[in-house]
Chain A
């Protein structure tokens, strides 16, 4: 298939940036979106032009490194997949595809389609540690956890931190990401020890970094490649309010 790509090019964080059009020919329908970009980049290198920068790592949908805002949707037109798992068969021959970086103030562009998502790392760091007993190896079943709670915690923990929620949100809110990270611990007995402290710290960090306020439009949930539920946001609100009202600890 032959495609026209409209790609955001930006030399560095300070540069202005703009769209540039590229033609790619003979793309296999079975290739992934990133493989299609590899083909483009090889042709650019052959022409001694600078290749298009984009983030990626595992290319199997588990690391959260790939991004790209493709034709008006983070991770492109398919549901519940990352860009690396998006296949070109989702497009048609002759299509024009617009590719943009994540847009949000806390995610500044570094170069071309690569944005700095270290704001997410800062939020995780703000969450702090979880206490654990040391000593001999504990029995695997020493801590009882209900199947229901463990399922919910596992669902929340499947967040790969790609930032699609922020990219999709009209408010650039990070609530889905933060709530998933808060929930995965708050739901389990191991995470309960510091849960009041954790939620307050992470929310404060999220606000400080300049992410927007959630207005419950749920674009995040619709675009999340891991289908993280907005019920996590409600849980975080509960956890946060509970901590603010009941915990006297200064954080």
Chain B
């Protein structure tokens, strides 16, 4: 058995938490850009396109993109490995009386919320990243044939309520995932301290509410406007 486990349980979890924290930072950047889909300023469309263009062409960001994909893949693969091992450790007979221990909902359903967010991510990648690669077509293209993401997104949110609803639900699940993930990552990295841990938990909770809410407001805005 030990021969199969090349990495220790703690090492696997540390890798997962580092990848997860990286994804948490990325999410914030993504939200910062997305918010400009809404008329926050006079020239919000220009700002959005400028930022999107910067993200698409800047060489540093290009390198970061590789890390980002790596982060996603590592986080997902290790998440699955850890989960399958855990199911196997639990054994084949479940407790008849279930579990009455009052753990948080977020922490109990990490794999479930994770898989649901992954499904959304797959759809999202198909719709936007494949478009960027030219594998998925859109009527919204500029003079050079590049997709205009501003118009693609606004069109999706304005005319496809089903997509908007899926989008909103996915972010609610992400909120639950993040609520546990944030503080859990620090615990795994060993950063536990009587002074800072309550603070980390509060920041995690605020992040898990505010960031998904920020994403959710955007389709809501377009649904209400149309």
What residues of chain A have their CB less than 8 Å away from a CB belonging to chain B?
Answer: 6, 8, 19, 69-73, 77, 98, 100, 103-106, 168, 170-173, 203-204, 206-219, 222-223, 230-231, 233-241, 244
Return the CB mask of B1-39 against A: 1 if under 8 Å, else 0: 110010011111110000000000000000000000000
Asked if B101 contacts A172 (CB within 8 A), the reply is no
Is A203's CB under 8 angstroms from B8's CB? yes
- A237 and B95 form a contact (CB under 8 A): no
B187 touches A212 (CB 8 A): no
What is the bound-complex CA distance between A106 and B9, given in angstroms? 15
Using Cβ atoms and an 8 Å threshold, which residues of chain B touch A173? 9, 86, 89
**Nearest opposing residue in chain B for A77, CB measure:** B100
| Cβ-closest chain A residue relative to B94 | A103
Query: B41 at the A/B interface (Cβ < 8 Å)?
Result: no
- Per the bound structure, the CA–CA distance linking A234 and B10 in Å amounts to 10
Within residues 66 to 81 of chain B, which ones have a CB less than 8 A from any CB in chain A?
none
B104 within 8 A of A: yes
* B9 near A207: Cβ-Cβ < 8 Å: yes
Report the separation of the CA atoms of residues A103 and B96 in the bound assembly, to the nearest whole angstrom: 11
A223 close to B101 (CB less than 8 A): yes
| CB-CB under 8 A for A212 and B97, given A104-B90, A171-B90, A206-B9 | no
Q: Find chain B residues with CB under 8 A from A231 CB.
A: 192, 194, 197
B199 within 8 A of A: no
Cross-chain contact A217 with B13 (CB below 8 angstroms): no
User: A204 with B85: in contact, given A72-B100, A100-B95 (CB under 8 Å)?
Assistant: no
Q: How far is the CB of B41 from chain A (nearest CB, A)?
A: 41
A170 contact set on B, CB distance < 8 A: 86, 90, 99, 103, 108
Q: Is the CB of A216 within 8 A of B188?
A: yes
> In whole Å, how far is A130's beta carbon from the nearest beta carbon of chain B?
22
Contacts of B91 in A (CB 8 A): 103-105, 172
Contact indicator B14/A241 (Cβ below 8 Å): yes
Task: Select B107's contact among A69, A77, A218, beta carbons within 8 Å.
Answer: A218
Q: Which residue of B lies closest to A233 (CB)?
A: B187
Q: How far is the CA of A172 from the CA of B191 in the complex (A)?
A: 23
Q: List 11 A-B contacts (CB under 8 A).
A: A72-B97, A98-B96, A100-B97, A171-B86, A171-B90, A172-B90, A173-B86, A203-B8, A204-B2, A215-B86, A237-B189
Other A-B contacts than A77-B100, A105-B89, A206-B9, 19 sampled, CB-CB below 8 A, are: A71-B100, A72-B98, A73-B99, A106-B89, A171-B90, A173-B9, A203-B10, A204-B2, A208-B1, A209-B1, A210-B1, A215-B107, A216-B107, A217-B104, A217-B107, A219-B103, A230-B187, A237-B189, A241-B10
Q: Could you say which residues of chain A place their CB within 8 Å of the CB of B97?
A: 69-72, 98, 100
Determine whether B180 belongs to the interface, using a CB cutoff of 8 Å to chain A: yes
